[in-house]
Amino acid sequence: MSEGDFKMFCIRTDGSSGRNGATKAMFDAYANLDKEGFKPQWMFESDCLKVEKKEKNTAYLFDHFLGEGFNHVQSLKCRIFGPQCILSSLEHKLDIPRRSTPIFNLALKDLVVCCSNLDKEIREELHKKVEMMGGEASKTLTDQVTHLVTGEVGSKKYQVSGDLGKQIMLPLWVEKVWEKSADGHIHGADPLFHEYSCPVFYGLVITVSGFDSTERGEMKTMIEAEGGKYTGEMKVKECTHLIINKPKGQKYEFARKWKMHIIKSEWLYDSVEKGYCLDESKYGLEGRDSGVKTSTPEKGKAKSELLSTEKVKIICIRMIL
């Protein structure tokens, strides 16, 4: 950020004067801009409605991204910042991304976020907040993506992200970063947000069969510690996974009938060790698949036409969904 002929307008409530009409952060941003030679100017919110067009090297600072004045300036695609965005830029020597969408702060600067298994409305709201925090929202999973935000484990995007060592987070991560960023300069990659990483078995309901009480207890502890639900009963349309090492027993037969994931115990231990839910298809019982499939090859397909795991991974990196 360099001063030059850059015009900075700090927006305050109509009719206000002195230390009224704006937040402390706005007054601090004004003082810091003035100190750095930007010569900021105060502007009443109603005066924003008089702006006729987007001007080069001009930006508007709003405490809140709402109201008639904000909506009008945004409709002209003028550069809009929040005061914390300016404070972080000046105090920490951070460049502000150059884009036409408003930037409230820099809490997700240099992060590229992709979403998986989220309702459209939730996904769009998260994308909006990511961009307002200086990050980039990507609809496709590319090698530039740094974080995947997911509503549940197991999607193609999830598997590829895990294989590539990308950070896999819960939607709550974006919300908590947004909340904390109101208090001052923070960053979404800070250690305090690690607790919002997606647990390995998040959203899964897992039962086991063929193990003694000690083994079952250990499995229950591991499953629950990683966000899953352990159940002794196996209910249709509720239980998602059966862990069993031999293809026999009542649970096994019902799991096949209900098209559940049927996997060996190694899947559980390997997933915890790797830090993400591994592909169940690699842990099916000997001579049998793991049950549920995300896609099924058509009968009669030539072997050469079926995509290998590595080819799928390459395609997913370039563009998934």
Q: What is the token pair recorded at 219?
A: 């499995």
Predicted TM-score (pTM) of this structure? 0.84
**Sheet bearing 241-243, strands edge to edge:** 229-230, 205-208, 241-243, 261-263
Report the pLDDT value the prediction gives residue 258, as an integer from 0 to 100.
95
pLDDT higher than threshold 80 for residue 291: no
Cα-flanking dihedrals φ and ψ of residue 243, to 5°? -100, 120
- Percentage of the residues of the chain whose pLDDT score is greater than 70: 88
Q: How far apart are CA 90 and CA 96, in angstroms?
A: 10
Report the pLDDT value the prediction gives residue 292, as an integer from 0 to 100.
55
Summarize the confidence of residues 96-117 as an average pLDDT.
Answer: 96
Q: How far apart are CA 234 and CA 251, in angstroms?
A: 7
pLDDT higher than threshold 50 for residue 160: yes
What's the Cα-to-Cα distance from 282 to each of 120, 270, 288, rounded to whole Å? Answer: 31, 11, 10
pLDDT higher than threshold 70 for residue 298: no
Report the pLDDT value the prediction gives residue 17, as an integer from 0 to 100.
86
Structure confidence by residue, pLDDT tens digits, 2-52: 555 789 999 999 998 888 999 999 999 999 999 999 999 999 999 999 999
**What structural domains does the chain harbor?**
7-92 (3.40.50.10190), 112-196 (3.40.50.10190), 205-283 (3.40.50.10190)
**Which of 184-193, 211-220, 284-293 is least confident?**
284-293
Summarize the confidence of residues 291-296 as an average pLDDT.
Answer: 45
pLDDT category of residue 290 using cuts at 50, 70 and 90: low
pLDDT higher than threshold 50 for residue 196: yes
Residue that is written with structure tokens 């939730």 in the block: 122
Report the pLDDT value the prediction gives residue 92, as an integer from 0 to 100.
96
Report the pLDDT value the prediction gives residue 4, as an integer from 0 to 100.
55
pLDDT higher than threshold 70 for residue 107: yes
Torsion of CA 282, 284, 289, 292, to 10 degrees: -80
139 torsion bin: left (phi>0), alpha (psi -120 to 50), beta (else):
alpha
Report the pLDDT value the prediction gives residue 320, as an integer from 0 to 100.
39
pLDDT category of residue 312 using cuts at 50, 70 and 90: very low
Report the pLDDT value the prediction gives residue 313, as an integer from 0 to 100.
46
Coil, strand, or helix at residue 246?
coil
pLDDT higher than threshold 70 for residue 289: no
What's the Cα-to-Cα distance from 104 to each of 5, 43, 81, 132, 308, rounded to whole Å? Answer: 22, 18, 5, 5, 43
pLDDT higher than threshold 70 for residue 156: yes
Q: Beta strands of the chain (E only): which ranges?
A: 7-12, 41-44, 58-61, 79-81, 112-116, 136-138, 147-150, 167-169, 205-208, 229-230, 241-243, 261-263
